[in-house]
Chain A
Amino acid sequence: MSERDQDNRLRAIDPTQSFCVSAPAGSGKTELLTQRLLALLARVNRPEQVLAITFTRKAASEMSSRVIEKLDQARRLTPAQLPHEATTRALAQSLLAHAESLDWQLDESTLNIRTIDSFCHEITRQMPIVSGVGGISEAVDDATPLYESAVNQLLAQSGDENDTGNALRLLLHHFDNRWVRVRELLVSLLARRGDWAPHIGQHQDPIGAEAILFDSVANLIRCRLAATCIGLNEHFAELCEVLDEARETLGLPALMLTSDAAALEDWRSMVDVLLTATGEWRKPGGISIRQGFEKGSEAKSRFLNLLKAFRGNERLRDHLIEVRQLPSMQRHGQGWSLVVAVSSLLPVLQAHLLLVFQKTGVVDHTHIALAACDALGPDDSPSPIAERLDYQIEHILVDEFQDTAHSQAEFLRRLTRDWSDHNATGSAPRTLFVVGDAMQSIYGFRYADVALFMRIQKAGLSGLKLSPLTLTQNFRSRPAVIDWVNETFAALMGEGEDLDQGRVRHVNAIATRKNGTEADREGVHLNLFAEESSTREATRIAMQIEELRAARPEASIAILVRVKSHTASILPELLARGIDCDGDALQSQAEQVIIQDLLSLCRWLENPADDVAALALLRSPWVGLTLNSLALLYESREEKPLNLLTAGERDAAVRLPVEEQQRLQHLISVLNWANRTRDRLSLPIWIEQIWLRLKGPATALPAELTSVRLFLDALRRAEASGTGLNTDRISEDLSHVSMDSAASAQSVKVMTLHKAKGLEFDYVFLPALHKRPRANSRELLRWHWHEGPASTGLLIAADDQEKNAPTLYNYLNWLQKMKQHEELKRLLYVGVTRAREGAFLSGTIKASGDKQEVTVSTGSLLSLLQHNIDGAPVEPVDDLVAASLAFSGPATVGRKARKGSYRITNAALEQFPEGFINRPSMPTQSPVCVNGLGQDNRLERILGVVTHRVLERLSAHFSLPTEITTEVGTWIRANVINARLDSADAKQIEAACTEMIANTLRCPNGRWLLGKHPEAHSELKMMRREDGEIRRYIVDRTFFDEQEGVRWIIDYKTSSPQPGENQEDFKIRELSHYRDQLDTYADLLEGYPWRFEGPIKAALYFPAIAALACQQ
């Protein structure tokens, strides 16, 4: 290990200092983070005081596992093999001692290692009101439907006669009234509101927004002009002088080359003299009287000298090119009015999104992040965070900081804003430890800004100084790989940095491993193919993988691509050779054939009017009708869409061949079963059962069963979320589910470069380097966070569609392209540096013209390797093609080669057990008709409850009153009030109950049954065992009447005769209605060992009419 690296590593675990560590690929970052974490934990009072932040759940959980593993090893005293392990071991041991002394339970739940999302979530949970969330919110991963609702609501205001309506009409008109497009753009804006929302406050007025923007642009121009001025260095004054002279010759006024924004046009004039239209330095031959330089004049020779001095100064040339791009300050162009319109719409749009969040009860992750930031409070009134979290965060570690977005950086800033003041007091220092690698910043498309990392490296965060440390050793790759990387990327990235353009500096890596002996498999190899032919490249890769597998079966291999579609030609080749693959660049679940079939099934079940779904079902392997049969069925139909359920009854169906009829009938009987059982089984079980009845397993490949399982999981989620059988949503959900990795260690990982970050493999293939992803459409808005020495501000511009004018949008677009170009280099860096042993780069090139000039499309990864391409040998392809052909026969087009399409056999369909499909479904209860919903009898039921309770109390009273006393009145009121009625209903019930009780107290029968008797009970709870089950009963009143020698059972009923019904008829009706109930009670009481024996009599008592009805 180099001494400097060693020294840096030791410094990095100093728990009293803050650091920003630049850790390039393979530099042992994870170990260093673990060491620092162990070191910090050993100094705090509670483990939660050390917060480690990652960006993915996987990273968080890996970091936790690693710490726990190190602690376990230390506990078990497993011997440490390597020097750095010894350091980790020592740190782990001192942490164990510390934990023991403080009685800590060190496990994953006490370690404060979390994703930034989950930490934000915790903050909003703790501060529900200031964060504006209100409570625990579920953040959804795909919030597009929510954004769409918000945008729809906003667009619905387009007819309003107010500022919002005007702005919307302007926007819509600008986009040719294409609502879909405008919606798309606004939706994409909402997805990125983490960047703009904090700056376009909800309460900011449009005029204020415009003024701020105007200032920001002026600041930007000033800043860039000043930088150009510095770039011109000591030549600036002379250049001004010479140019003025030339302009005088042309009769033009002198240039005012100040750094004021107003001077921009003069600067552009200056640039035009120095550079050609394509941005190259002018050649001496191009300097003439046209620019004001007379032949042989002194001015011309001075100018040529200056040009000579500038030539080769690429940095200066970049500055000058940027001057051309800088936006003009005309405020009233269409672009400006659009910016103003969009700026004024954004707060409204955000407000609509909030409404959608409120309505649906779910939010997106950005909302949580913004809410968490809000919860920490503005700088002038920060929230007492330690109070809320129940611990003071003493130390923070952030991994992969180069992938931080502005909103996240702001959150961290607020979290640590008082730390430098705290540290200045001399108390135990709080530290921030940031690890990242600017060269691996590749998440620009997810709003990460590498400039944040570079800035924090230089200037620290919220006044907290972070000592920069750079690791240079590479423990991962062979020197042959590292040398190639060093050489290539030193040339590509260079030494310079530019924060605005996202340009990072290259750091040379030092190899620690030694080269092996198999040169052809080690190092970096570039294979070029003569013309655009992805199959040749694919064959070559597949063959190489086979060779590698044969030579080193244990080696890990990955194929890394920019976008998933770049594997299209490679996968069939691997599949054909039986090479197992897994990884995120394979098809998503939604694209799997079996999933498509299941989706078609669901689509038809969702909407039987879906003709395409019906046809897809008929063509699925579960049915597999021939086109001939379909033609018979469809061509003769009169109605559209086809009614699948009755298709079998059609004349045409009868004319189908018998086997085809069988197929159709089978489908129809399954669908009929499905219809009968719809909504009776849970959704995933229902679909599974339909699939089983369709004989799905007999047509599925073993690997497809996993897809079926994941499909059912998606249905389970749909059911739980309440969306149910909504096929579009289910399909959308599945598009985020990648193929489950059921693959062995042997399988080749096929991944996107983005997903591969943080991983390493023995061999890495980077194919299709000549390809570019599909170009994105022009964004509605572009923005850029400008941070100059004197000013900071968000620049935001709307697409003015003025493609060549120096508008702010075009400038930001240009800047974005610069950033993307820089990121492209880093993407290649990430790809190649995944390799431990060897990396195989490949792509195809086209040579044209007499000189066979090679052209590579700009924007492709291959375009970065122009140096390597020039003069590189192009693979001879003939043998490859031959190999490929020999392997799988000629690639054919046409009717004879439709292998791969299959259907269930008729024999299989016949094998269904008798009646399986129509297996008797669940036993059903008797039909419930309209009246099944019953009458609204809530008040009667409450009246019954209250009356029962008062009668119970009366029966227990030491002396039965003759009328409603205050005490009885209180009982009634207390029970009525506790029945949770509104006041009008309460009054009504109280009056009715009072009357019934009064009736009862007046009635001799009532007084008799409430009076004192032996073995009397009211509301008697009874239980008994019936057929193994325990049943419970409550008997309103029972007692032994000594006079009669009878045991009475009384059931109170608060009902009364219907209008026109006489009392006797009423009693008879009620007795017959409650006969069973009374009989059961009698039986129940008979089974109890009473003291007094006697016959049992049962009766109903009606307090409303003060009548007793005895059962005979």
Chain B
Amino acid sequence: MPSTVDLHQFESFLEKGQTILTPGKRLARAIAEAWVRNQQYHQSVFFEDSVQPVDAWLERAWCNTVENGLLPMQWLLSAEQQTTLWHEIIRKDIAQNRNFTLTQPRAAALRAKTAWDKLSMQGGLEISSLWGHFQHEEDCRIFSRWARQFAAQLKKIDGVTRYQAYGQLLSLPAQSTPVALYGFPDLPPVTMRALEHLCDLQLVAPKESIRSDPAPRVRAFPTREDELAAAATWAHEMSQRSDYRSAIVLLDLERDRNQLEYFLRAQFGCLDAQYNDLPVNFSTGMPLGTTPMFRDALLALEWEVRPLLRSDWVALMRSPFFPGLLRNPSPNDLQLVERLFKSGVTEISLDQTLHFLTRYTSDSPLKTILLNIRGDRSHRKKKNLAVWAAWIRQRLQVWGWPCRESLDSIEYQQINRFDDSLDALAELSSVLPKQGHEEALTQWRRSLSNMPFQPKTPYDSVQVMGPLEVIGLEFDGIWVCGVQQGSLPRPPRLNGFLPASLQKRLNFSDLNAAQLHAQGQKALEIWDAASTDTIVSYHQMDRGLPRQPSVLVTVPKASNESGWFPPSRWQASRQVEDMPWDERIPLDTSEHAGGSSLIRDQAACGFRAFISHRLKVTRLGGEAFGFTAIERGLLLHEMMFYLWRDLGSQSALLDLSKQLLQERIERAATVALKKLEDDASRCGYSLRARVGESCWQLERAFSREVVEAWMIQERNREHPFTVVSLEEESVLKLSGLELTLRPDRIDRLEDGRLIVIDYKSTAPAKSRWLGPRPQEPQLPLYTFLDPALEGIAFAPLARESQFIFLGNDLGLTKTPDRGLAHQTAGWAGDWEELISKWSSALALLAEAFVEGDPNIDPTPGACQHCELKSVCRIEQLRQTDRSLSFVENETPK
């Protein structure tokens, strides 16, 4: 149901063919339509601009004057062109003046535009004569510098701003065409003067309330949500009455719009199937640039400029508007994404994607497009923005955008704004020099963010609008939301770029509290008069903070109850059953079950082992920054491998001079790094490129240092040793489970005893080997490989560390070995006991795995970095099972 007006107020003018001017478009439209509706059925009406917004009328008048040669040949800059011009001036000024910078030059440009408009809307002022006032305050002084450049630029391009143009109209001979003007809100001084100069103005006063009770109904709500939900419910109820026209006015339209839309959708049943049929007309919408279709278009184009963050890359790949990998993924596509993520990249470039596609897929639409784009160099040179606009169109055509099989009505309306957005970009070429690729996209992004998009629906039973848009219209019912202190009346505001004294002298209306108060009061009266059923409402709390009603409303005695939550569609009787107990699922075959990590996971948590080693669920690789712990571990392992492969024994090490050792370490580092890079390259990426050259070199230096320091430990070992095994694979059968083990190194001491050594890049505690559920079971597992093994040791390849070991008289460190009982804090008295305890503990763990026992029984601390919380639902279990309620960061005992 369209908005309407009280035609009686305007009829006499319309009948006479006299022009009516309104403050905004909406009222102009409503008057014209009301008049047409009033005519006989189906009759065409012609309308020589009888009702127009003031600005459109004055602009036309100015254009005519220029066309007639009565004013110099000039053009009127659009708001966006003005802001861009200001931005450009500010940008250059910052570049030239090294003593100041701005975090938000764009915001400064917008404020500069406002300040300029404020000055020029005074009318009759010679702006250039005012600069003297601007020299006492730094902000004003700098603004005046920019403003002079702005004026010069305008002159250079023969441009004018709106209020300047109105000011120029005052130089014409006065006219007295009779014109009616709707009398609220107040117009800027120069607009009024121009109108008075060109017309014989007749003011149409806003309608007075006809109700005997002068004040509108005031309703109070506990929270903002309650208030908006109630307004939506009301609008829906009203829409059930035939021919009822209702409007919701939001004083904070920008903030409340989306939330209100949600409540309206819920009320009108437009949350899914009828999503596009919400019978509500919103006076504003979301910026076009944030609609999914344009959001993704921007992403695709910006991908050519720089790599995308992972999250953006995934967004583009799943976008329904692009033929990305995740739109309708094949198993191969999913695997490709997984591979890419496994490489640890934080950002994904177009080239990298193309590289993966070439390597792992045959033909795909995405690959063809990327190849096409890569082969094209048209984006390289700086160009005029109009040319860039054409380039964007062509590029998106290459992408096949928007390649959704069919568009719904909202998407259809969005794509229809594409041309407008490119026009807006092209228009900027008149104020900007040639731009590069990236700047052009930035400008398009801005253009898109300045274009509000609001889908049109065929039938509107409710209007939602801002406080001024409703002025002059009539409804059967109006609900004004958010009548709070601070919103009505508006608090006075100074403009930061204009001297305060000047603003006062010029009597800026924004500054005059009394005037603002009166305006607020007047607005309230007009809203009240605009329907026979006007409700104004406020809320008492917003995001946990109390809010007060406007001083202009009388507070009702009782506040309304909330009651919208939970919505009825969320109310359902609980229909759940206990999750069936997870039965054991014995392993079919224990062959090649896994490595020591299987027992480690089983020790930490049966469920984790089940998911990771039975279901083999993979984790999406995280983002890596520099070398990951695993990569570093591999590098050090490799270096040690090469060194000991060549050295073979402690005596060989002792025979080496320091310099020779350094050379070998250097060589080992080179070989190990190469191996790492080769491994990465086999997985489709370059590790060196990912970490960057300086990180690569620093890692080389660091690993050399660490290994060199470590070799001193090896030199100083008391008992001479020979290395008997390096990374040799063995198979261990444990409780029927076949485990593939690969000890880093096994040394034979002179007396024939063997020690197994595991390299670590940090120094873990011994306690991690002990107990029925050891956190680091690999070394204990290795002891089963050879009965001659009588010692296990971690070699922590980190600064200032030394062997951590279990075993008698191993001679690994200078500190005298204490007995095993001491070393194991009493867990085992001697090596035999230790082996036997490990044997039973590890056998039990292996058995549990073989039996397929997915028990959720994490050791303390196990869950801390586990990614399976959402699968095992440990948090839910903890709420009822106290045995699981230990704190995650407590260290295990």
Q: Which residue of A lies closest to B882 (CB)?
A: A891
A612 within 8 A of partner (CB): yes
Over the window 959-993 of chain A, the binary record of Cβ atoms lying under 8 Å from chain B Cβ atoms (1 yes, 0 no) is: 00000000100110111011111101100000000
Contacts of A626 in B (CB 8 A): 579-580, 582-583
Over the window 365-392 of chain B, the binary record of Cβ atoms lying under 8 Å from chain A Cβ atoms (1 yes, 0 no) is: 0000000000000000000101001100
Contacts of B695 in A (CB 8 A): 158, 172, 177, 179
Stretch from B396-404, B651-659, B737-745 contacting the other chain: B396-404
Interface residue ranges of A70-84 to B (CB < 8 Å): none
Asked whether A1023 lies within 8 Å of B32 as measured between CB atoms, the reply is: yes
Asked whether A903 lies within 8 Å of B576 as measured between CB atoms, the reply is: yes
A662 within 8 A of partner (CB): no
- Given A631-B615, A899-B880, A904-B575, decide whether A128 and B318 contact each other with a Cβ distance below 8 A: no
Q: Which residue of A lies closest to B35 (CB)?
A: A1023
Stretch from B203-211, B464-472, B592-600, B853-861 contacting the other chain: B853-861
Q: Which residue of B lies closest to A387 (CB)?
A: B500
Bound-state CA distance A59–B2 (Å) is 46
Asked whether A902 lies within 8 Å of B578 as measured between CB atoms, the reply is: yes
- Report A176 CB to chain B, min CB distance, Å: 6
Asked whether B702 lies within 8 Å of A938 as measured between CB atoms, the reply is: no
Over the window 6-39 of chain B, the binary record of Cβ atoms lying under 8 Å from chain A Cβ atoms (1 yes, 0 no) is: 0000000000000000000000000011001101
Asked whether A716 lies within 8 Å of B258 as measured between CB atoms, the reply is: yes
Asked whether A383 lies within 8 Å of B873 as measured between CB atoms, the reply is: no
Bound-state CA distance A1029–B485 (Å) is 39
Asked whether B576 lies within 8 Å of A621 as measured between CB atoms, the reply is: yes
Q: Which residue of B lies closest to A354 (CB)?
A: B103
- Given A109-B491, A936-B389, A980-B427, decide whether A681 and B272 contact each other with a Cβ distance below 8 A: yes
Asked whether B49 lies within 8 Å of A1021 as measured between CB atoms, the reply is: yes
Contacts of B885 in A (CB 8 A): 535, 568-569, 572
Asked whether A127 lies within 8 Å of B63 as measured between CB atoms, the reply is: no
Q: Which of B265, B397, B573, B698 has the most CB of A within 10 A?
A: B698
Stretch from A11-19, A595-603, A785-793 contacting the other chain: A595-603
Asked whether B44 lies within 8 Å of A129 as measured between CB atoms, the reply is: no
- Given A902-B579, A907-B575, A953-B67, decide whether A599 and B620 contact each other with a Cβ distance below 8 A: no
Report which of A110, A933, A1026 forms a contact with B396, defined as CB distance below 8 A: A933
Question: In the complex, how many residues of chain B place their beta carbon closer than 8 angstroms to a beta carbon of chain A?
Answer: 191
Interface residue ranges of B118-165 to A (CB < 8 Å): 136-139, 142-143, 158
Asked whether B137 lies within 8 Å of A630 as measured between CB atoms, the reply is: no
Contacts of A173 in B (CB 8 A): 698, 701-702
Over the window 674-701 of chain A, the binary record of Cβ atoms lying under 8 Å from chain B Cβ atoms (1 yes, 0 no) is: 0101111110110011001001011111
Over the window 489-529 of chain A, the binary record of Cβ atoms lying under 8 Å from chain B Cβ atoms (1 yes, 0 no) is: 00000000000000000000000000000000000000000
Contacts of B320 in A (CB 8 A): 678-679
Q: Which of A389, A572, A702 has the most CB of B within 10 A?
A: A572
Asked whether B107 lies within 8 Å of A129 as measured between CB atoms, the reply is: no
- Report A270 CB to chain B, min CB distance, Å: 32
Bound-state CA distance A73–B510 (Å) is 33
Bound-state CA distance A571–B685 (Å) is 48
Contacts of B273 in A (CB 8 A): 919-922
Asked whether A1024 lies within 8 Å of B871 as measured between CB atoms, the reply is: no
B867 within 8 A of partner (CB): yes
Asked whether B430 lies within 8 Å of A980 as measured between CB atoms, the reply is: yes
A851 within 8 A of partner (CB): no
Contacts of B333 in A (CB 8 A): 609
Bound-state CA distance A936–B435 (Å) is 19
Over the window 705-717 of chain A, the binary record of Cβ atoms lying under 8 Å from chain B Cβ atoms (1 yes, 0 no) is: 1101100000010
Contacts of A635 in B (CB 8 A): 614-616
Asked whether B546 lies within 8 Å of A705 as measured between CB atoms, the reply is: no
Asked whether B69 lies within 8 Å of A615 as measured between CB atoms, the reply is: no
Asked whether B870 lies within 8 Å of A612 as measured between CB atoms, the reply is: yes
Asked whether A901 lies within 8 Å of B877 as measured between CB atoms, the reply is: yes
Q: Which residue of A lies closest to B706 (CB)?
A: A176
Asked whether A977 lies within 8 Å of B75 as measured between CB atoms, the reply is: yes
A547 within 8 A of partner (CB): no
- Report A377 CB to chain B, min CB distance, Å: 8
Asked whether B311 lies within 8 Å of A728 as measured between CB atoms, the reply is: yes
- Report B330 CB to chain A, min CB distance, Å: 8
Asked whether A970 lies within 8 Å of B69 as measured between CB atoms, the reply is: yes
Asked whether B875 lies within 8 Å of A596 as measured between CB atoms, the reply is: yes
B242 within 8 A of partner (CB): no
Contacts of A935 in B (CB 8 A): 393
Asked whether A933 lies within 8 Å of B45 as measured between CB atoms, the reply is: no
- Given A609-B341, A905-B576, A928-B402, decide whether A178 and B626 contact each other with a Cβ distance below 8 A: yes
- Report B441 CB to chain A, min CB distance, Å: 13
Asked whether B335 lies within 8 Å of A639 as measured between CB atoms, the reply is: yes
Bound-state CA distance A763–B233 (Å) is 43
Stretch from B409-417, B747-755, B837-845 contacting the other chain: B409-417
Asked whether A934 lies within 8 Å of B419 as measured between CB atoms, the reply is: yes
Stretch from B288-296, B714-722, B779-787 contacting the other chain: B288-296
B96 within 8 A of partner (CB): no
- Report B270 CB to chain A, min CB distance, Å: 9
Bound-state CA distance A1022–B321 (Å) is 39
A1030 within 8 A of partner (CB): yes
Asked whether A631 lies within 8 Å of B614 as measured between CB atoms, the reply is: yes
Asked whether B44 lies within 8 Å of A177 as measured between CB atoms, the reply is: no
Stretch from A134-142, A322-330, A442-450 contacting the other chain: A134-142
Q: Which of A597, A640, A699 has the most CB of B within 10 A?
A: A640
- Given A612-B871, A685-B265, A708-B570, decide whether A977 and B275 contact each other with a Cβ distance below 8 A: no
Contacts of A152 in B (CB 8 A): 625
Contacts of A981 in B (CB 8 A): 386, 429-430
Bound-state CA distance A624–B142 (Å) is 65
Interface residue ranges of B443-494 to A (CB < 8 Å): 485-486, 491-492, 494
B284 within 8 A of partner (CB): no
Asked whether B576 lies within 8 Å of A902 as measured between CB atoms, the reply is: yes
Asked whether B882 lies within 8 Å of A569 as measured between CB atoms, the reply is: yes
A165 within 8 A of partner (CB): yes
Bound-state CA distance A979–B400 (Å) is 31
Asked whether A169 lies within 8 Å of B694 as measured between CB atoms, the reply is: yes
B81 within 8 A of partner (CB): yes
Interface residue ranges of B250-299 to A (CB < 8 Å): 258-259, 261-262, 265, 271-273, 275-276, 290, 292-293, 295
Bound-state CA distance A720–B295 (Å) is 12
Asked whether B139 lies within 8 Å of A384 as measured between CB atoms, the reply is: no
- Report A479 CB to chain B, min CB distance, Å: 34
Asked whether B485 lies within 8 Å of A109 as measured between CB atoms, the reply is: yes
A1025 within 8 A of partner (CB): yes
Bound-state CA distance A519–B798 (Å) is 59
B815 within 8 A of partner (CB): no
Bound-state CA distance A932–B581 (Å) is 56
25 contacts between A and B (CB under 8 A): A128-B496, A129-B108, A135-B104, A177-B698, A179-B627, A361-B107, A387-B137, A388-B139, A568-B885, A569-B882, A593-B876, A631-B615, A682-B261, A705-B565, A706-B565, A900-B880, A901-B578, A901-B877, A903-B579, A924-B409, A935-B393, A938-B419, A1022-B47, A1025-B39, A1029-B2
Given contacts A134-B108, A924-B406, 12 further A-B contacts (CB under 8 A): A65-B548, A128-B496, A130-B138, A132-B101, A132-B102, A363-B103, A607-B337, A679-B292, A681-B275, A692-B569, A933-B418, A1017-B46
